[in-house]
Amino acid sequence: MAWQIMVYKLSEGMLESIKIYTLTLIFSLPLGLIVALCRMSKNWLLRNFTKLYISIMRGTPLILQLMVVYFGPYYIFKITLPRGYRFIAVIIGFVFNYAAYFGEIYRGGIESIDSGQYDAAKVLGYNKAQTFMRIILPQVIKRVLPSITNEVITLIKDTSLAFAISYPEMFTVAKAISAAQTTMLPFVTAGIFYYIFNLLVAYTMEWIEKKMSVYR
């Protein structure tokens, strides 16, 4: 019975981890593209502001960023936020952190495209937006997909960092059960859950890569 209760509680925690994972990807992937375009902007202020943002996101621990987003409004501005803000803080922290990494990946992919393709598109009558969306972006996605896959897999494990602000994702639940029952079994079970989730995501991303490969 104790085993069944533990698995049930960990399953609830796993659902919270999946929510963090899914929402982070939904918002950070498109935001990363915006970050990349801002990073490549001809506007000096916008370009350098984006560069500073990326530097901070990549140069400080995600766990610290989560704590700043969650505790910052109260300690800095004396704003008391509702209890539901804990989940919002987790999503904000993860989205802005991963958008910085995705932005640099996108930027590398965009800059790897031969400049002659822009000239050819212009000759064919495409404007800048059409050139980017119809010609450049599809090629960029194919080129950066392996790097995106690495970040997507890393995100699975990073969801456990939500424990820093006591959000009840799977690792937080496992830690609480382990402390109450003085056993490592919840951590082992959580590790199995993470591994299975990782395998499913890795298989899905590999399938997508094969579908998008021009060398199928």
Range of lowest pLDDT (30-39, 40-49, 188-197)? 188-197
Residue range 122-179, pLDDT digits in tens: 877 778 778 888 888 888 888 888 899 999 999 999 999 998 898 888 888 888 888 8
What is the pLDDT averaged over residues 3-17? 83
CATH number at residue 130: 1.10.3720.10
Written as one string, the DSSP assignment of 115-184 is THHHHHHHHTT--HHHIIIIIIHHHHHHHHHHHHHHHHHHHHHHGGGGGGGT--SHHHHHHHHHHHHT-S
Q: Give yes or no for residue 38 having a pLDDT over 90.
A: yes
For residue 137, what pLDDT is reported? 83
What is the pLDDT averaged over residues 40-54? 95
Q: Which residues contact 139 (CB under 8 A, 6 or more apart)?
A: 109, 113
User: Which residue type is seen at 37?
Assistant: L
Task: Name the 3-class secondary structure at 60.
Answer: coil
Q: How many domains does the chain have?
A: 1
For residue 216, what pLDDT is reported? 47
Domain span at residue 57 reads 2-212
Between 161 and 210, where is the model more confident? 161
For residue 155, what pLDDT is reported? 94
Q: What angle do CA 204, 208, 211 make, to 5 degrees?
A: 140
Please answer whether residues 26 and 76 qualify as being in contact, where contact means their C-beta atoms are separated by less than 8 angstroms.
no
